[in-house]
Amino acid sequence: MAKIEKSGQSLNQIKTSTNLVFNFVFLILAVMCVIPLLFVFSISISDEESLRVNGYQLIPQVFSSSAYVFLWNERTTIIRAAFMSVMVTVVGTCISVALNTSMGYVVSRRSFKLKQIYTWLIFIPMVFNGGMLASYVVVNNILNLRNSIWALILPLACSAFSVTICRTFFRTTVPDSIIESAKIDGAGQFRIWSQIVLPISKPVMATIGMFAAFGYWNDWFQASLYIQDVNLQTLQSLLNNIQKNIEYIANNPYGGLSLQQYKSSMPTESVRMAIAIVIIVPIACTYPFFQKYFISGLTIGSVKE
């Protein structure tokens, strides 16, 4: 018996050379992910003239904070837009988690009579969709959400992919015996979902929450379609407009003396990279707090039946 156990352990062990190769490969992949971010930050603190002469460099030849000074001068507008982005992200993520988990739980129950119909209704949008025009007509003309915060939240609140992950997670993780025991004790479906299913579903909730948070935080397209009120602009939409204005000034040689003077005093390439840093850093700082739940939820949710 001891020989069998020792043989089994030796079969499950990874050779030292193989382990070194894996570590080296993962190190290269990690470096490939980090270097672009370092390049972006390096360009954002580089002098504009140095960028024009020397090009992009990982270590700037001439340091400059002009890009961040430019954004600081616009701090009132940027802070208001950042607050709007945070509010949209928080509210939208909560709504998204509630909708996706509830729909996933419903279609995961084998006793649900309309399970097949609802499964097809969830699956079809993953392959086909109505397109941008149909979405615009529904949000703008039928629901009348133009210039409303709900125009930034509701179109992204539910995802067929997220519902599928929740369905698979609940099917493989929540046993039917727990549900039946709760029913015998007199619990309704909403109470079962909210007090029994959700407390043991932190991994999938973190996974869906991360997907939703990334989507809401990085979205600028919804604001460009439905928002004209400057007080409802999100950070991404505002910074995208700033970048467009920079490109317009840089490419318009007939804008007049004052326009040309403003162009000569304003950084362009470094501002673009500073904008990217402003967008990336807040959402990147939140990922380590959800990494454990995110990985386990995504892994369990990807199990096929």
Reported as a single tens digit per residue, the pLDDT across 173-227 is 877 778 888 888 887 888 888 888 888 888 888 888 888 888 899 888 888 888 8
- The CA–CA distances, whole Å, from 229 to 135, 147, 156, 240, 256 equal 20, 6, 20, 15, 29
Give the model's confidence band at 303: pLDDT under 50 very low, under 70 low, under 90 confident, else very high: very low
Give the model's confidence band at 263: pLDDT under 50 very low, under 70 low, under 90 confident, else very high: low
What pLDDT sits at residue 166? 86
- Provide the 3-class DSSP secondary structure of residue 63: strand
What pLDDT sits at residue 188? 81
CA distance 99 to 163: 8
Q: What angle do CA 92, 301, 206 make, to 5 degrees?
A: 35
| Global pTM value | 0.75
150: enclosing H helix or E strand: helix 150-153
| CA-CA-CA-CA torsion sign (53, 58, 59, 65) | positive
The CB density around residue 186, as the number of other CB atoms within 10 Å, is: 7
